[in-house]
Amino acid sequence: MGLAFLTPLFLAGLFAVAIPVVVHLIRRHRGTPVAFPSLMFLRRLPVRDVRRRQIRDWPLLLIRASAVALLALAFARPVLQFGEEAVAGDEDAFREVVVVLDRSWSMTRGDRWARAVSVADSVVTGLQSPDRASLVLFDRSGIVAVEPTLEMGRIHSVLDTTRAGWSGARFGAGLQAASTVLAASDRSRREVVFISDFQRSGWEQGPRDRLPPGVRFTPIDVGDEERRVLVVADVALEHDFPDGRHLVTPTVRILHRGSDVPTRGELVLEVDGAVVESRQIEISAESTSVEMQPFMLAGAEPTLAAVRLTPQEGERPEAFRFVLSPREVLAVLLMESGEAASFLRRALRPGGTPPIRLETRLGTQGLSAQDLEGTDLVILHDVPLPAGPAATALRDHVVSGGGLLVVAGPGSAPGGWASEWDGLLPGRPGETVTRDPARGGSLTGFLRDHPVFMSFEGSEGGSLGQPRFFRYRALSGGLLSGSGSEGEDEPTSILARFDDGSPALTERATGGGRTLLWTSSFDTEWTDLPLQPTFVPLVREIVRYAGARRESTPFVTVGQPLDPGYLLEAAGLFPSSTAGTGGGEDRSGILTGPGGRRIELRPSGGPVELREPGFYDIEGDEGGGGQGWSIAANPDLGELDPARVDPEELTLAVQGDGSASAEGRATPGETSLAEGERRQGAWRFLLLAVLVLLLGEALLANRKKPLAKQVGSA
Amino acid sequence: MTPVKGRAAPRAGTGANFLDPVVLQRIGNLELVARGVVEGFLQGLHRSPFLGQSLDFAEHRPYTVGDDPRRVDWRVYARTGRYYVKEFEAETNTDFTLLLDVSRSMAFGGSGITKFDYARFLAASLVFFARRQGDRVGIVTLDDRVRDFVPCSARHLERVLITIDRARPDGSGHLASALEALAERQARAGIVALVSDLYLDPEELSGPLKVLGQAGNDVLVFHVLDPAERELPYDDALTMEDLETGETLPLQPGDLRSEYRELVRAHITAVAQALAKGRVDHLLADTSSPLDEVLFGYLSARQNRKRRGRWASPS
C-alpha cells in the first residue's frame, strides 16, 4: 500500500511544525499582561533572555506540533494506493497519456511523418515520472501499439520503426482505440494527444467516436499546405468479346490537384509485367481521362495489370494495379424467339460488372450438351420448354453447377411438361393471369436478404414496385414441395410475389446449380418493366445470381476489410455452392502479399485487411485444390482529398459532453469518482485527529496552569 | 511575625466554613459577615473579661424603686420636677481606630479572594470585635493620603462598616505621608490597627507608626498577602503589570521564583523588625487563612502587649 497526495503543495505546511517549537522556545509573553500587586521585588532580579529557554513541556509541544503536521497532511489530500499503484508513488495524481498517431497514406506526403514522429517523441519525453503513456497507431483501423507503460523507451523504439502506410485515415478508429485504453485506466488525469494532418476525409463522426468524460484532448496538426497531387485515380475497364476474343479496354482517370498549370507525363500500361503501351499525355489542371489501347485476355489464369504515371517534373511515379481474369466473365446463352429479347440483350451488354459474354440462339431445337459447354447461364426467354435431349442437356447443365433462367412469357407455351423438368423447375407455369389493364399488378413481398434483392435494400422496394404487370403466369405443382428426386434437391423458394400473392420469381437448386423462373416477360407485351429504371439492375442481379457469380472487382483499396470467404471463393477454394453447408469449412488458403507477408485465410475467420498496395496471391494452404487467384490493392485515393478539418472542431466533437474543463483538469468517470473519493477520504480522519489533539492540548494546557490565571483589578 | 501556629486545624461544623474568607465573600452584608466571624470566633474561645471601666451616657429613664438614688439626674428634676435616672450604654476604656489601606495593590487576588476583600472582612471583624468589647470604634481609609475618616465613637459602628463597604482600592501605595498626617491628628490614645499589604520601605512605614506608638497608642499592623504574591506560581513566560504604577515587565517567572520568594521573605522580616523597633506588632494575614486565625493572633498580640506593659511599667 502506498501513499500519494493530490495537492502536494500543501505539504509545505509541514514547515509550520516549527511554529510550536519556536513558540515554546521563545515563550513569547501573553497578549494581556498579568496584573501583579507590585513589581518592586521582580525589578531587583536580573533580567534573563527568554529566547534561550529550553523546552519545558514536551507533551504539550508534541501535541501542538502533531496537530499542525496532521493539518498540513489533511490539506495535501492523501490518497491510499494499493498493489502496483503504490510502486509509482503518488501515481494517481499523474497523467495517463495516450499518444494517437495518424499513419495513413497522406502522412507520407512531404515531411509530415518525420514531423509527426518528432512531435510524438517530444510529447513522450516531456512526460513526468510516473506519468503513464501508451501509443495508438491508426489509419482505417486503430491498434494499441504500446500498452500503457512507465517505460517511455518502448514508445520511442516503436516510433523509430513505424512507418506511415497506404491506407486511408479514419479518426474514429484512433479515438476508439484510445478510449479503450483510457477506459481501463484508473488515473484521474487522462489525456489524448492526437497527431495528424487532419484530412477531412478521415473524419466522419460516429456515435462511438467520443472520448470518455473528463479526458483532455490535445490535437497537434502536422499538416502543411497541400502540394500538387498527380496520380492515377481510377481505371475503368470495358470488356468486349469480338470473335470469341476477350478484349479489355482500360480508361485511366488521372487526378491533378494543387496546380493551375497543365502538365505532361508518361503513362505506361503493363500487363503481366510487360509494357503494353506507353505514351506521353497532356494532363489538364483538374482531371484527365485517357483511354488506353485494348488488350486481350487469354487463358484461365488471372492477368496482373498496372498503369504507371511518371510526371514530367520528376516526381515519383504512382502505379494503379488491377487484376483481370477470363473466369470473371459470365458466359450467358440466351435462347429466344425472334426479337422479343431485345430489351434483355441490351441489359446484358458486355460493360459493367461482372463482364458478361452474351451468346444468343433462336429456339431450343437441336440444343446439345456441347452447346452448353463453357456456359454459365442459360436463359430460356419466352420459348417453349424443350423436351428430349435438349431438356436432358439443360438438366445436366444445372446439376453440374450451371444456371438456368426461365422467362415464362406469352411464347413459353407451357402445355407440355417433359419428365426431365421434374425437380428442375421451381413450379409448373400454368394459365395466364390477366390484371386490370389500367392499373395492372406490382411486385411485392421480396426476400430482402436474398442476393438478387440485396442491392435494392434501402429503397423500401419503391423502385421495384413501380413496374406494372398486366399478365403473368400462375404456377402450380412442385411449388415449394421439394419434390426433387432422391432428396438431393433443395425446396423451391419464392423470391418475389405480385400484389395478388402470385409468385413472380422462384428459385430451385438442383445439384450444383439453380433454376430461376420469372413468371412474366422481359418485354413490353405483358409488363412495362423494361421501360423502368430498375429493369437493367434487376436483370443483371438475377443473371449474376443464376450464373453463380459473385461480384468481383479488379482491385481493392488498402485497408479495406475483405471477407476471407470471398477471397477463397474467388480463388476457387471455397465455392459459393458449399457455403453454409459445411462443405468448405475445412478449406483454407494463404494470402501472400507483395512483401512476402503471408496471411492465412479461413472462411470463418475475421476480415482480412491488406496493408500495402500491390498484387496479392491466394493459394490453397496445402497446395491442393483451387486454381489460385490474385487481387490488386491500391492506395486509398480519399487520402488525396486536400480538405482539412479544423482541429478545434474535432476537439469540440470528441469532447462534446462538456465534461472536460478548459484547463484540462481531469474529472474521473462515475466509477473512478466513487473509487477516488473512497481513497481520498483520509483527510477526514486527519482532521478528526487534529480536533482530538487540540482538545487534548486545551485540557493539558489548562490543567498545568491553575494558578497562572490572570487576575483583573477588582 | 508569622501567623499563629497550632490553630491551622479546621474546626468542624458550619462555623468553620463561615470563617473561610472565600465563603464570606459571597455574603453581601458586611455587618453580617463581621458578626458571623466574631460570634463564630467567640464560640470557640472563652469569653475574655472586659477591659476598662468607662461609661458613656445613652439615655434617661424614669426612676423606679430599687434604683440607686445616686444615679438620679437632679438637673432634669430641677427642670421637670420628675425623677429620671441616667442610663449608660456600655462600658468603654479605649478608642479602636482601624487604618485600611485602599491602594490599588490591594486589588490583587490569586486564590479566589482579593487582598482588599480579605482586608475588608478582617477590618469589619476587628471593628465588630472591638465594639463587642466596649471599645469605641473609628476608621481611616488611606493610600498616599487620608481618604475617609470616621472618628472613634461608641455609636459609629454602622458608619465604620459603611465606610468599609464603600471603600475601593484605587490609590497609591505610599502610605507614609498619610500615616504621618494621621499621627499628627491623633488626639486620644487608643488602639490603632493598620491593615495593608505594606508595599513600601519598612523604614518609611516604621517612622509614623512609631510616632503613634509614642503617643500612647497600641499599634498593630496586619500584613495582608496573597499566596500568589508570596510564591510566584506562574510557569510560562508572561508580562506582568504593576497594579499601582501600570508598569509592565516581561519575564520568565519560573526562573525567578526562588529568588523572588527569598526577596519577599526578606521584606516581611525587614518590616517585622522595623515595626518591632517601634513597639508595633506585626501580624501576617494570608488571604488563604481563615479569619479567626488572624483574630486569635490579634488577641494574642494584645495579651502579650499587656504583659510587656506590666513588665515594663515601674512597680
Domain residue extents for chain A: 2-77+681-704, 87-226+644-674, 229-326, 329-546, 556-637
From residue A502, give the alpha-carbon distance in Å to each of A7, A232, A384, A441, A461.
Answer: 78, 51, 21, 10, 17
Report CB contact under 8 Å: A40, B199: yes
How many Å apart are CA A407 and CA A535, to the nearest integer?
14
B158: nearest Cα among B24, B34, B42: B34
Contact residues on chain A for B229, CB-CB shorter than 8 A: 36-38
Of A28, A45, A713, the CB nearest to B237: A28
Instruction: Report the CATH architecture of A229-326.
Output: Sandwich (2.60)
Q: What is the pLDDT of residue A29?
A: 53
Is B259 an interface residue toward A (CB < 8 Å)?
Answer: yes
CB neighbour class for A669 (10 Å; exposed up to 12, middle 13-18, buried from 19): buried
Give the rounded distance of the alpha carbon of A61 from its chain centre.
68
Residue B199 to residue B5: CA distance in whole angstroms: 25
CA distances from B70 to B53, B56, B78 (A): 18, 17, 15
User: ipTM of the assembly?
Assistant: 0.75
Query: In this complex, do A35 and B108 lie within 8 Å of one another by their Cβ atoms?
Result: yes
- Rounded to a whole number of angstroms, the distance from the CA of B139 to the nearest CA of chain A is 22
Interface of B with A in 74-113 (CB under 8 A): 104-111
- Residue A505: enclosing H or E segment and its boundaries? strand A503-510
Separation between Cα atoms, residue A639 and residue A500, nearest integer Å: 51
Say if the Cβ atoms of A33 and B241 lie within 8 Å. Answer: yes
A711/B251 Cβ within 8 A: no
Mean local confidence (pLDDT), B278-292: 87
Q: Which of A26, A42, A709 sits opposite B249 (nearest CB)?
A: A42
Mean pLDDT by 10 residues, chain A (714 residues): 72 83 65 82 70 66 88 82 48 77 86 90 83 89 88 89 85 89 84 89 78 86 77 82 81 81 85 87 81 81 85 72 78 82 81 77 82 87 84 87 87 68 80 88 83 70 79 72 42 86 89 87 88 86 78 72 76 54 59 82 78 82 62 80 83 66 38 53 85 88 56 37
Residues of B in contact with A39 (CB under 8 A): 240, 242, 245, 247, 249
CB contact under 8 A, A41 and B264: yes
Rounded Cα distance between A349 and A590, Å, is 35
Nearest chain B residue to A714 by CA distance is: B107
Q: CA A421 to CA A393: how far, in whole Å?
A: 11
For residue B120, the chain A residues in CB contact (below 8 A) are: none
pLDDT of residue A416: 60
Distance (Å) from the alpha carbon of B234 to chain A's nearest alpha carbon: 5
**Which cell is A649 given?**
472542431
**SS3 assignment, position A27:** coil
* Distance (Å, whole) CA B99 – CA B123: 9
The alpha-carbon gap from B238 to the nearest alpha carbon of chain A, in Å, equals 4
Per-residue cell: A257: 490537384
pLDDT of residue B295: 81
Is residue B167 within 8 Å of residue B120, measured between CB atoms? yes
CA A590/CA A576 separation, integer angstroms: 18
The C-alpha atoms of residue B224 and residue B124 are separated, in whole angstroms, by: 15
Amino acid A504: pLDDT: 92
Q: What is the pLDDT of residue B102?
A: 93
Residue A478: predicted pLDDT: 53
CB-based contact B248 A56, cutoff 8 Å = no
pLDDT band at B28 (very low <50, low <70, confident <90, very high): low
Interface test with B, best of A27, A41, A60, A700 (most B CBs within 10 A): A41
Predicted confidence at residue A95, as pLDDT, reads 81
- Edge-to-edge order in the sheet of strand A598-601: A556-557, A629-634, A614-620, A589-592, A598-601
Count of Cβ atoms closer than 10 Å to residue B182 Cβ = 23
Cβ distance of B237 and A50 shorter than 8 Å: yes
Residues of chain A numbered 170-199 and touching chain B (CB < 8 Å): none
Using CB atoms within 10 Å of the CB of residue A681, give its burial: 0 to 12 exposed, 13 to 18 middle, 19+ buried.
middle
CB-nearest partner of B243 from A27, A37, A48: A37
Shortest distance, CA A70 to any CA of chain B (angstroms): 26
Chain B residues within an 8 Å CB radius of A42: 240, 249, 251, 256, 260
Kindly determine whether residue B235 and residue A704, on different chains, have CB atoms separated by under 8 Å. yes
Q: Are A38 and A104 in contact (CB under 8 A)?
A: no
Structural domains of chain B sorted by starting position, each given as residue range(s) with its CATH number in brackets: 14-49+94-309 (3.40.50.410), 57-91 (no CATH)
| Best to test chain A binding among B115, B225, B251, B260 (most A CBs inside 10 Å) | B251
Q: Which residues, 6+ apart, have CB-to-CB distance to A695 below 8 Å?
A: none
Confidence category of residue B225, pLDDT binned at 50, 70, 90? very high
Tell me the chain B residues in contact with residue A50 when contact means C-beta distances shorter than 8 Å.
237, 250-252
Write the CB contacts of A106 (distance below 8 Å, at least 6 apart in sequence).
A112, A169, A197, A199, A639, A640
**B265: which chain A residues are within 8 Å (Cβ-Cβ)?**
none
Chain B's closest residue to A53, CA to CA, is B252
The pLDDT, as a whole number, for residue B98 is 92
Residues paired with B88 in a beta bridge: B57
pLDDT score recorded for residue B196: 93
Contact residues on chain B for A64, CB-CB shorter than 8 A: none
* Confidence (pLDDT) at A360: 85
Q: Which of A36, A50, A57, A709 to mutate to test the interface with B (most CBs of B within 10 A)?
A: A36
Whether A229-326 shares its CATH topology with A329-546 is answered: no
Partners of residue A441 on adjacent β-strands: A469
pLDDT per position as a tens digit, B114-125: 999 999 988 988
Q: Name the CATH superfamily housing domain A87-226+644-674.
A: von Willebrand factor, type A domain (3.40.50.410)
Among candidate residues A277, A270, A167, A216, the one with its CA nearest the CA of residue A636: A167
Chain pair A-B, CB pairs under 8 angstroms = 117
Q: To which residue does cell 534561550 refer?
A: A52
3-class SS string, A452-482: HHHCCCCCCCCCCCCCCECEEEEEECCCCCC
Backbone angles phi, psi at A257, to 5 degrees: -130, 165
Name the minimum distance, in Å, from the CA of A662 to any CA of chain B. 54
Q: What is the pLDDT of residues B76-89, one digit of tens each?
A: 889 888 888 877 65
Tell whether B234 is within 8 A of chain A (Cβ): yes
Q: Which residues sit opposite B176 in a β-bridge?
A: none
Pairing of strands B54-62, A132-138: unpaired
Q: Quick check: A47 contacting B, CB < 8 Å?
A: yes
Q: What is the pLDDT of residue A26?
A: 64
Please name the residues in contact with B240: beta carbons below 8 A apart, sequence gap of 6 or more: A33, A34, A35, A36, A39, A42, B248, B249, B250, B251, B253
Smallest CA–CA distance from B169 into chain A, residue = A714
Task: Tell me the chain A residues in contact with residue B235 when contact means C-beta distances shorter than 8 Å.
Answer: 56, 704-705, 708
CA distance A697 to chain B (A): 15
Contact B97, B127 (CB under 8 A): no
Phi-psi region of B282 (alpha: psi -120 to 50; beta: other; left: phi over 0): beta
Q: What is the CATH number of domain A329-546?
A: 3.40.50.880
Please state the φ and ψ torsions of residue A540, each to the nearest 5 degrees: -65, -35
Give the closest of B105, B237, B267 to A37, CB-based: B105
For residue B117, the chain A residue with the least C-alpha distance is: A714
Stretch 267-306 of chain B: residues touching chain A, C-beta under 8 Å = 267
Q: Count CB-CB contacts under 10 A for residue A333.
A: 21
Alpha carbon distance A68, A690 (integer Å): 8
Give B242's contacts in chain A (Cβ within 8 Å).
36-39
The verdict on B45 touching A (C-beta cutoff 8 Å) is no
Does the pLDDT at position B195 exceed 90?
A: yes
Which of 687-706 (A) contact B at CB < 8 A?
Answer: 704-705
pLDDT score recorded for residue B309: 53
Residue with cell 499525355: A281
**Contact A53/B at CB under 8 A:** yes
- Asked if pLDDT for residue B10 goes beyond 60, the answer is no
Q: Which chain A residues are closer than 8 Å to B287 by Cβ? A: none
